[in-house]
């Protein structure tokens, strides 16, 4: 039985690789679309540079009897604006603002549009003095506040410059072979403009569309296509249970989905380079995971659809109709606004959860206040659990439909 199952899987994969449309959707299309999205964003801001850009610094550090690290940080940044090879060369640093608290700094950004703004707290030097060998590797200390309508590339460059400074002396301490350094916290407020919401909604929508459309060619060929060519009868005549035959096809689909995942990873690397935003391994893992699960949800639903279709053309048409309409609906709702921060009927559509995860994992700063549970991580877990349950239900339904005697006559 195991040999027959393995043979079936290999045959399914060989047939899939002969399908040019399937190879395009699973391998080429993700690379192309991630690259296209990154290219569009890059071109949108490529005509801007750091030169002439202004950023604000509020230094409230009290220092100690010998040094004020806040002043040193400001001097380092000021020097970088005059170094030709620096990524923030030509920008202007403004240190004239004064506030009495962090909340007042937030008000300057949110209400008066003064951004990007670096806030250095009163205890900046004290935190450094208290570094010990038991500290965690990074300690939150300074905060970069910005708005969606800021120059995204410049804010990313400024963030990178800050991280470079904070990871070097004298802002890093080595104790007992353990390096302890400051951590930069970034907060992006929603602001008045909707440009960034349009972009993050578009990115999530296109990525979801790729995941939903990728299995279409395989499903129509592996089920309705075989019935149309009258090869399904010979397949069902094998000394294998129907559930095992379905399992073989599903495993083949899963292997193709892993190829799809690898293609997305390479695509995300290209995307991150183009938009100058370093995606962490955690972000790339979650994005890949949600796209794989989404593709698998589409596979389960697709098998159910093909159980009623007479031929591959009909199956493909019905698949596109059933999948595209809800995908476009939730996609446009994400493009022209953010994902709902309350449970509504739209969350019954699985693709809404995909879009929500993509937006929250790729743009956590912007959506930090648009959560269902009050915590982005818990939100992501909730969305992934819903998708996983949907996978189970869709394949249970698919297995029952595939086991029908009328499967050959549909």
Residue of higher predicted confidence among 343 and 300? 300
Annotate 20-57 with three-state secondary structure.
Answer: HHHHHHHHHHHHHHHHHHHHHHHHHHCCCCCCCCEEEE
Same domain membership, residue 404 and residue 274? yes
Decide if 12 contacts 245 (C-beta within 8 A): no
Same domain membership, residue 176 and residue 209? no
3-class DSSP state of 183: strand
Domain end point (choices 163, 188, 213): 188
pLDDT of the residue at 193: 42
Same domain membership, residue 16 and residue 117? no
Quote the pTM value.
0.64
- The answer to whether residue 49 is domain-embedded is no
Could you read off the pLDDT of 158-184 as tens digits, one per residue?
A: 888 887 887 777 777 655 555 555 666
Q: In whole numbers, what is the pLDDT of the chain averaged over residues?
A: 77
Domain with 294 in it? 2-43+195-408
Same domain membership, residue 381 and residue 274? yes
- Please give the sequence-ordered ranges of beta strands (E in DSSP) within 134-232, or none if there are none: 138-146, 172-175, 178-188
Same domain membership, residue 141 and residue 82? yes
Domain end point (choices 134, 167, 188): 188
Same domain membership, residue 349 and residue 332? yes
pLDDT of the residue at 308: 67
Same domain membership, residue 260 and residue 172? no
Measuring CA to CA, which residue among 374, 331, 336 is closest to residue 356?
A: 331
pLDDT of the residue at 94: 93
Same domain membership, residue 136 and residue 25? no
3-class DSSP state of 93: strand
Same domain membership, residue 213 and residue 342? yes
Could you read off the pLDDT of 121-152 as tens digits, one per residue?
A: 888 888 777 755 444 444 557 888 888 777 76
Domain end point (choices 131, 165, 188): 188
Give the whole-angstrom CA distance, residue 283 versus residue 30: 17
């Amino acid at each position: 039985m195991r040999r027959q199952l393995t043979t079936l899987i290999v045959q399914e994969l060989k047939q899939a690789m002969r399908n040019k449309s399937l190879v395009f959707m699973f391998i080429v299309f993700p690379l192309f679309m991630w690259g296209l999205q990154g290219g569009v964003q890059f071109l949108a801001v490529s005509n801007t540079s750091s030169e002439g850009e202004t950023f604000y610094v509020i230094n409230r550090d009290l220092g100690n009897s010998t040094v004020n690290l806040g002043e040193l940080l400001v001097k380092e940044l000021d020097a970088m604006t005059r170094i030709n090879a620096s990524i923030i060369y030509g920008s202007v640093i403004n240190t004239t603002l004064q506030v009495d608290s962090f909340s007042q700094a937030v008000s300057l950004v949110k209400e008066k549009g003064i951004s990007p703004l670096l806030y250095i707290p009163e205890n900046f030097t004290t935190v450094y003095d208290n570094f010990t060998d038991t500290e965690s590797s990074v300690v939150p200390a300074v905060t970069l506040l910005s708005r969606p309508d800021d120059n995204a590339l410049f804010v990313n460059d400024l963030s990178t410059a800050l991280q470079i400074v904070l990871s070097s002396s004298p802002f890093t301490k080595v104790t007992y072979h353990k390096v302890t350094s400051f951590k930069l916290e970034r907060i992006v407020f929603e602001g008045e403009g909707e440009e960034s919401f349009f972009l993050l909604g578009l990115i999530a929508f296109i990525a979801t569309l790729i995941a939903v459309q990728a299995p279409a060619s395989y499903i129509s060929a592996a089920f309705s296509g075989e019935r149309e060519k009258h090869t399904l009868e010979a397949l069902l005549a094998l000394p294998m249970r129907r559930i095992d035959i379905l399992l073989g096809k599903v495993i083949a689909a899963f292997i193709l989905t892993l190829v799809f995942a690898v293609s997305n990873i390479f695509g995300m690397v290209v995307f991150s380079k183009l938009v100058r935003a370093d995606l962490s391994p955690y972000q790339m893992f979650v994005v890949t995971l949600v796209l794989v699960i989404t593709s698998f949800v589409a596979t389960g639903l697709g098998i159910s659809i093909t159980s009623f279709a007479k031929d591959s053309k009909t199956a493909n048409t019905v698949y596109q109709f059933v999948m595209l309409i809800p995908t476009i609906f939730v996609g446009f709702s994400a493009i022209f606004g953010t994902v709902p921060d309350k449970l509504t009927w739209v969350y019954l559509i699985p693709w809404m959860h995909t879009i929500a995860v993509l937006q929250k994992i790729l743009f956590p700063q912007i959506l930090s206040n648009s959560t269902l549970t009050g915590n982005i991580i818990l939100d992501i877990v909730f969305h992934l659990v819903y998708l996983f349950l949907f996978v189970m239900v869709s394949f249970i339904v698919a297995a029952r439909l595939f086991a029908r005697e009328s499967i050959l006559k549909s």
